[in-house]
A and B are shown apart, each in its own frame.
Chain A
Amino acid sequence: MSTTLRQASPTATSRPARGRPRTRRSPYPGWFYLPAAVVYGVLFLVPTLASFYFALTRWTIFTSEFIGLGNFVQFFQEPALTKGFVNTFVYAALTSGAKVVLGLALGMLLTSQIMGRGYLRAVIFFPVLVSTVGVGITFRVLMNPTKGAINAALGVVGIDGPGWLVDPSIALLSVAAVDIWKGVGLATLIYMAGIVSIPKEYYEAARVDGAGSWTLFRNLILPLSWPATSTVVTLSLIGGLRSFDLIWSMTRGGPGFTSDVIASVIYKQYQAGFYGLSTAGNVILFIAVTAIVLPLTRFLARKEVEL
């Protein structure tokens, strides 16, 4: 710390003391908020507030006609739109659940004494950095029902692979699987940090008390990595509920509308020029995220305090 002080002093003394009332001004001025507040206010808060009005209108950007709850009624009456609503929750729950389980398992594996640990950490994390659209296109080719490499490999061992992205009953699950593939590296990383920060004395104490590996996992690793679980769940839910890039690059909501989510419905309605309906989708997504993520973060934080 002394070095930083010494670095700081020449710049401070180089300015000759003028008769300015320095001490009266706060060193933490409110106007530091200003540039960020303008950008955030104009491009995030204003549109969010405006969405609550425009969701109730028939809207062409230039003119809007108030139609009450018509857009919301339409959203929940058309099966194509309702499907997107349900899929959003299925997708978010599946991807976050899998990221917690796999992330914890891989986190434990990659913090233990294991061969090739550095390589494994790197290779699992790399997909996090790669373009989502690139990953989507790659897996769309790999998952091709007749020519794709996945079904070719399954064919070698005598399994007749399903039509991953063309079968309406599993298209959404296939996209979710790729989402997990791409995102599990981040979950693993967060769990690794959580597990490594558990003091080693705890393990020793547990061993002395004769704890087996299951007891060790259940009563030591799981509770003490709770902050990591909380982070992984929150981050993947936020990402999963608004997921768009991967679904759009793999199926565009198809076949039909069986793998649509709210975010892709918003885009489709926007493309079709139904701006009011599209904005209603945004408001529904907003409410869904608030209703799920806010209580959940409260719950997770409370559990964290109890532990």
Chain B
Amino acid sequence: MSATTTPVPRTASAPGSGGRVGGSRAALYRYGVGTLAVVASVVVFVVPFAFILLTAAMDATQASEFSFAWPRNFQLWENVVEVVQTRDYILVIAFINSVVLTLVSVTALVVLGSMVAFVLQRRVTRWTGAINFLVLSGLIMPPAIVPTIWVLQRFGLFATMPGLILVEIAFGLSFSILLFRAFISTIPRELDEAAVLDGAGPLRLFFRVVLPLLRPVMVTVVLVQSVAVFNDFQNPLYFLPGDAGATVQLTLFNFQSQNLSSYNLLFTDILLITIPMLLLFLFFNRQIVAGLTSGAVKG
């Protein structure tokens, strides 16, 4: 977990700054290159986000000039109110839809994914190879879109929220299983045996003993999958068409087609749907970084 926060040994520092790093050269590197990097990062990464924020605070006329400028009439709050009220509060409905979609599918991805990973890691049978292959296929292979719609229609689930939730689960399972499996391999088997000797059945063993130990990797799975599902555009576009079930990403797309003139409102919408991710980032920055790296490199 502490991989990225461990201070790098001094000898490992400044790979580009020559043999033995003298005091003044190290300082030059630290501040000189550091300043350059900070300036470059402001231009490349901060300006686009500042642009979103500024445009979201402009009036319609100024926003349509596309300029990177301070708003003449600072009306961020008015824009927020207007965007929320647009088309009978469609954005509020979309937020509810997105939250339901994310909560339900991520919960299922955690429970179902960890159950599979547990048995897959612990019990080796002649099927294990085939199951591993299927799990990897799910990660690599692009899903077949129209045939999925065809299957959903057969079950009466096309263009319904349960249908979309099941699709997100099916497409996200592989990644969850791989992350959980890598972590479960670090939990000693003796623990299972002790629990079994104490009389725990499979359900109790898994839900009471193993699952609580998975907390670190669970944080990673929850964060990664929440970002993926909340920001997903392609699957709602295909599997949940129509205004009633629109997710926030689709409102962005629909606003874009309908109010081409009012870019301030479009950017207010971008700003609003970025806030959940921003909060996630502020609260879990360290876990995201640590978890993603441990999962991605070791898994």
- A residues bordering B, Cβ < 8 Å? 1, 4-5, 7-9, 11-13, 15, 17, 22-23, 25-30, 32-33, 35-37, 39-40, 42-48, 50-51, 54, 59, 61, 108-109, 111-117, 119-135, 137-139, 141-142, 144, 147-149, 152, 181, 186, 189-190, 192-194, 196-198, 200, 203-204, 207, 210, 212-213, 216-217, 221, 227-228, 231, 235, 238, 241-242, 244-245, 248-249, 263, 266-267, 270, 275, 278-279, 282-283, 285-286, 289-290, 293-294
- Interface size for chain B: under 10, 10 to 19, 20 to 34, or 35 or more residues? 35 or more
By a CB distance below 8 angstroms, the chain A residues around B177 are: 36
Which B residues between 227 and 252 are near A, CB-CB below 8 angstroms? 227, 230-231, 233-234, 237-238, 248-249, 252
In the complex the two chains form, is B144's CB within 8 Å of A282's CB?
A: yes
Nearest Cβ on chain B to A2's Cβ, whole angstroms: 11
**Which of B38, B296, B297 interacts with A119 by CB under 8 Å?**
B38
Which B residues between 1 and 18 are near A, CB-CB below 8 angstroms? 3-4, 6, 8-18
- With A112-B15, A123-B46, A204-B11 as contacts: A9 and B213 at CB distance below 8 Å: no
The 0/1 profile, CB within 8 Å of A marked 1, for residues 255-296 of chain B is 010000001001100100110011011000100110011101
- Which of the listed residues B139, B149, B198, B288 has the most CB atoms from chain A within 10 Å of its own CB? B198
By a CB distance below 8 angstroms, the chain A residues around B170 are: 39-40, 42-44
By a CB distance below 8 angstroms, the chain A residues around B147 are: 46-48, 50-51, 54, 279, 282
By a CB distance below 8 angstroms, the chain A residues around B166 are: 39, 43
In the complex the two chains form, is A285's CB within 8 Å of B198's CB?
A: no
Looking across the interface, which residue of chain A has its beta carbon closest to that of B20?
A207
Q: Is B123 located at the chain interface by the 8 A CB criterion?
A: yes
In the complex the two chains form, is B34's CB within 8 Å of A115's CB?
A: yes
Q: How far is the CA of A218 from the CA of B72 in the complex (A)?
A: 53
Nearest Cβ on chain A to B178's Cβ, whole angstroms: 12
Nearest Cβ on chain A to B70's Cβ, whole angstroms: 13
Looking across the interface, which residue of chain A has its beta carbon closest to that of B208?
A11
Nearest Cβ on chain A to B159's Cβ, whole angstroms: 13
In the complex the two chains form, is B65's CB within 8 Å of A147's CB?
A: yes
By a CB distance below 8 angstroms, the chain A residues around B113 are: 36
In the complex the two chains form, is A196's CB within 8 Å of B8's CB?
A: yes
Which B residues between 44 and 62 are near A, CB-CB below 8 angstroms? 44-49, 51-52, 55
Looking across the interface, which residue of chain A has its beta carbon closest to that of B147?
A47
By a CB distance below 8 angstroms, the chain B residues around A36 are: 112-113, 115-116, 173, 177
Q: Is B202 located at the chain interface by the 8 A CB criterion?
A: yes
- B residues bordering A, Cβ < 8 Å? 3-4, 6, 8-20, 26, 29-31, 33-35, 37-38, 41, 44-49, 51-52, 55, 65-68, 112-113, 115-116, 118-120, 122-123, 131, 134, 138-153, 166-167, 169-171, 173, 177, 188, 191-192, 194-196, 198-202, 204-206, 208-209, 212-213, 227, 230-231, 233-234, 237-238, 248-249, 252-253, 256, 263, 266-267, 270, 273-274, 277-278, 280-281, 285, 288-289, 292-294, 296-297
In the complex the two chains form, is A8's CB within 8 Å of B199's CB?
A: no
In the complex the two chains form, is A238's CB within 8 Å of B143's CB?
A: no
In the complex the two chains form, is A149's CB within 8 Å of B51's CB?
A: yes
In the complex the two chains form, is B191's CB within 8 Å of A190's CB?
A: no
In the complex the two chains form, is A115's CB within 8 Å of B67's CB?
A: no
In the complex the two chains form, is A152's CB within 8 Å of B68's CB?
A: yes
By a CB distance below 8 angstroms, the chain A residues around B34 are: 114-117
By a CB distance below 8 angstroms, the chain B residues around A192 are: 4, 293
Looking across the interface, which residue of chain B has its beta carbon closest to that of A288?
B142
Looking across the interface, which residue of chain B has its beta carbon closest to that of A43?
B170
12 pairs across A/B with beta carbons < 8 Å? A12-B200, A36-B112, A111-B8, A113-B14, A113-B29, A116-B37, A124-B41, A137-B266, A139-B48, A186-B292, A244-B234, A249-B253
**Which of A193, A231, A282 interacts with B4 by CB under 8 Å?**
A193
**Which of A15, A25, A130, A194 interacts with B202 by CB under 8 Å?**
A25
- With A27-B196, A112-B13, A203-B11 as contacts: A193 and B204 at CB distance below 8 Å: no
**Which of B13, B46, B237, B293 interacts with A113 by CB under 8 Å?**
B13
By a CB distance below 8 angstroms, the chain B residues around A128 are: 227
Q: Which 6 A-B pairs have the closest CB atoms?
A: A115-B34, A193-B293, A12-B198, A51-B144, A47-B147, A43-B170
**Which of A5, A133, A212 interacts with B19 by CB under 8 Å?**
A212
Q: How far is the CA of A207 from the CA of B122 in the complex (A)?
A: 44
Looking across the interface, which residue of chain B has its beta carbon closest to that of A18?
B199
By a CB distance below 8 angstroms, the chain A residues around B192 are: 27
Looking across the interface, which residue of chain A has its beta carbon closest to that of B294?
A193
Looking across the interface, which residue of chain A has its beta carbon closest to that of B116?
A36
By a CB distance below 8 angstroms, the chain B residues around A241 are: 142
Q: How far is the CA of A190 from the CA of B35 in the complex (A)?
A: 24
Looking across the interface, which residue of chain B has its beta carbon closest to that of A36?
B112
